[in-house]
Structure 1
C-alpha cells in the first residue's frame, strides 16, 4: 500500500492515519469539519490537499448510519481502488451499502476493537491498534484484492485480523462491548447523587468497572442505536440474573436459617458463573490457557519508583502479563499489581524482596 484516504478525522480515523503515515503510506485526510482535518494533519496524520487520482484504499471513519451514503459518494468520485470502514456495527451499514447500490466487490466492512474515553483527533495515537483485534466482514462478492488490501491495513496498524459475518459480529460486540458500556454507565450513575464521603472511598474495583462510562454520550447513543435490538436482548437476559441476585440477597438478609442457606447457594452460584465467564477472557488468543496470579508491590510516591520496580521485575526473568496501579492523588504510597503465570510467582516475589521491595 502506497496511498490512502481517511474520511473522518476523529479518534479512530486519525489513529488509522497516524499508523499508516508512520509506515510510509501517503495519507489524504477528509472531514466535513475542515478544522478537524487540519488538526489531524498538524499532528502528522497526513495531508489535506486534493488527491491526484485514486489511492489504494479509502477508510471511512464515520458513524454507522453514514457508512452507506459516504461509500456511495466516495465511490462515485472514484477516490480509491478499495474501500473499508471502521464502524462499530456491521449489519445495518451492510444493508445501507446494498440499498445505495455501492460496488460491493471493492468494499469490505471493518471494526478495530480499540478506542478510548476521549474523542477527536487530539486523542488519536499511532499505536492505538497494536495488539488489538480488527474484525473484517466481507460482502458476498468482496474481491480477493480488496480483502488482501484490508489485511494489509490491519497489519500496518499492528492489529490481528478476524474474519466473520456481519450479524455474527454485531451479536459478539453487543455482548463484549456495547452492553458492558451501558451497564457501566448504569453503575456509575448511582454515584451521581451519592454523598461525597461515600465517593471518596472509591477504589480500583469501581474505577475499573466504570472506566468506559467516561465515553462521549452522543457517540454511544449512535452506537447503541445501531445495535439496539441485540443489546436489549442481552439486557433482558441480564435482568433475569439480577432478579435472581435480588432474591438471593433478600434471603441472605432473612432471619430464617434455611432461607439464608438458600440465599447463599443462589449468590454463590451467580458469583461462580461470573468467575468462570471471566476466566474465558484471561488468556491470549491462540495460546494454551494460563492461570495467572497477582503479586502486589508497595511503592512510594517518589519519582523513579515505577521505573526501578519494572527494572527489577525484568531482571527476574519473569514475564509480566498485566500491570495495574492502585494509587490516588495525594496518597504517599501506592500498590502495583503485577499479573504473572502462577508458576513464576515465587521467583518474582523472591527477586523483588531481595531488592528491598515490600511484596504482598
Structure 2
C-alpha cells in the first residue's frame, strides 16, 4: 500500500492515518469538520485531500464515519473515484453493507471492518499511532466482496499492528451487542445511579464501582449513533439481562423478608447466578488468547509520588516475577494508593516476601 485516503478524522480515523503514515503510506485526509482534518494533519497523520481529489485513485479509502453515514460516504467516495478499494471502521456491520447494496454501489470493492480498540476520549487529539497494536480487527466480507478489497483490508490490519478476525456481518453485530454495546449501557445505567448519590457514598467509591462504570464516560453522541445502528441486537441482549435481573431481585426480596434459613430456594438461586458469573468470566480469553488463568493478587501500599510505580515494577523484576495484570486504587484524602499485582500462583509467596524485604507494605 502506497496511498490511502482517510475520511473522518476523529479518534479512530486519525489513529489509522497516524499508523499508516508511520509505515510510509501517503495519507490524504478529509472531514466535513475542516478544523478536525487540519488538527489531524498537524499531528502528522497526513495531508488534506485537495478539492479536486487525489489525482489518481488511492490504494484504499478508509471510511471513519458513524454507522449511519457509511453508505453515503462510500457513495460519495466511489462517485469521485477516490480509491480502488474501500473499507470502514464502524462498530456495526450489517446495516452499512445492506444500505450500500440498496443504493446500487459497487460492493465488490468494499469490505466492512471494525477495529476493537478505542479510548474514553474522542477527537483527533486523542488519537494514537499504536492504538490498534495487538488488538482484534474484524473484517466482514460478503459473497460480493472482491479479492482485491479483502487483500487491501488485510494489509491495512497488518500495517496497524492488529490481528485480523473474519466474521459474517450479522454474526459480528450480535457479538458486539453482547460484548460491547449492551455492557456500555449497563455501565451507563450503573453510573447514573451515582449522579445523585450522597457525598459520603461517592467519597468511598472503590475499585469495583470504578471498573463497572469506567466505560460510561464515553461520548454520548457517538454512542447514540452506535446503539441506534445495532438497536435490535442490543435490545435482545438487554431483554435477557432484564430477565436475569428480575430473578435476582426476587431472590434478594425473599432473603430480605424471610432470611436465608427460611428462603433456601432464594439463596440457592442467588448462588447459582454468582456461579454463572464465574463461568462467564472464565470464557473471556486470557493472556495471548489462551484460556483464562487464575492469578493470585499481591496487594501493595504505594505512595503517590513520581517513580514509585516504576520502583515497584523493578522490585518485581528483580525477584524474577512476571506481572500478569494489575489494578491501581487511590486512597481517598491520603497521598497513597493500593496497587494489586496479579501473578502466577507459584510466584505469589516469593514476591510478597521479596517486596517486604525491600520495605514495601504488602497486605495479606
Q: TM-score, normalised by structure 2?
A: 0.95
Cα RMSD, aligned residues only: 1.6
Q: Which residue of 1 aligns with 2:69?
A: 66
- Displacement of 1:353: 2.7
Structure 1 portions without partners, runs of 5+: none
2:217 aligned with 1:204: no
| CA distance in structure 2 between the partners assigned to 1:229 and 1:339 by the alignment | 38
Task: Note if contact 1:28-1:48 (Cα within 8 Å) is conserved in structure 2.
Answer: yes
| CA distance in structure 1 between the partners assigned to 2:337 and 2:169 by the alignment | 44
Task: Note if contact 1:251-1:262 (Cα within 8 Å) is conserved in structure 2.
Answer: no
- In structure 2, relative to structure 1, the CA distance for the partners of 1:334 and 1:58 (3 Å cut) is same
Q: Which residue of 2 aligns with 1:37?
A: 37
Counting only pairs closer than 5 Å after superposition, residues 64-143 of structure 1 correspond to structure 2 as: 64-143=67-146
Q: Find 2:243's aligned residue among 240, 263, 266.
A: 240
Task: Note if contact 1:86-1:111 (Cα within 8 Å) is conserved in structure 2.
Answer: yes
- Displacement of 1:218: 1.1
Q: Which residue of 2 aligns with 1:28?
A: 28
Q: Find 2:300's aligned residue among 276, 297, 300.
A: 297
- Displacement of 1:350: 3.1
Task: Note if contact 2:282-2:292 (Cα within 8 Å) is conserved in structure 1.
Answer: no
Counting only pairs closer than 5 Å after superposition, residues 139-154 of structure 1 correspond to structure 2 as: 139-154=142-157
Task: Note if contact 1:72-1:101 (Cα within 8 Å) is conserved in structure 2.
Answer: no
- In structure 2, relative to structure 1, the CA distance for the partners of 1:44 and 1:253 (3 Å cut) is same
| CA distance in structure 1 between the partners assigned to 2:144 and 2:104 by the alignment | 13
Structure 1 segments of 4+ aligned residues over 3 angstroms from their partners: 255-260
- Displacement of 1:258: 4.4
Task: Note if contact 1:253-1:260 (Cα within 8 Å) is conserved in structure 2.
Answer: no
| CA distance in structure 2 between the partners assigned to 1:295 and 1:118 by the alignment | 31
2:360 aligned with 1:357: yes
- Displacement of 1:309: 0.7
- Displacement of 1:225: 0.4
| CA distance in structure 2 between the partners assigned to 1:41 and 1:289 by the alignment | 41
Task: Note if contact 1:63-1:222 (Cα within 8 Å) is conserved in structure 2.
Answer: yes
SS at match of 2:165: strand
Residues 103-142 of structure 1 show CA distances to partners (whole Å, capped at 9, x for unaligned) of 1121110001111211111111111111211100012122
- Displacement of 1:294: 1.8
- In structure 2, relative to structure 1, the CA distance for the partners of 1:41 and 1:322 (3 Å cut) is same
Q: TM-score, normalised by structure 1?
A: 0.96
2:227 aligned with 1:224: yes
SS at match of 2:48: coil
2:12 aligned with 1:12: yes
Task: Note if contact 1:60-1:86 (Cα within 8 Å) is conserved in structure 2.
Answer: yes
Task: Note if contact 1:7-1:62 (Cα within 8 Å) is conserved in structure 2.
Answer: yes
Q: Which residue of 1 aligns with 2:258?
A: 255
- Displacement of 1:282: 4.8
Q: Which residue of 1 aligns with 2:323?
A: 320
- In structure 2, relative to structure 1, the CA distance for the partners of 1:285 and 1:169 (3 Å cut) is farther
Aligned length: 360
Q: Which residue of 2 aligns with 1:335?
A: 338
| CA distance in structure 2 between the partners assigned to 1:151 and 1:350 by the alignment | 48
Moved more, 337-346 or 222-231: 337-346
Q: Which residue of 2 aligns with 1:173?
A: 176
Task: Note if contact 2:187-2:212 (Cα within 8 Å) is conserved in structure 1.
Answer: yes
Structure 2 portions without partners, runs of 5+: none
SS at match of 1:161: strand
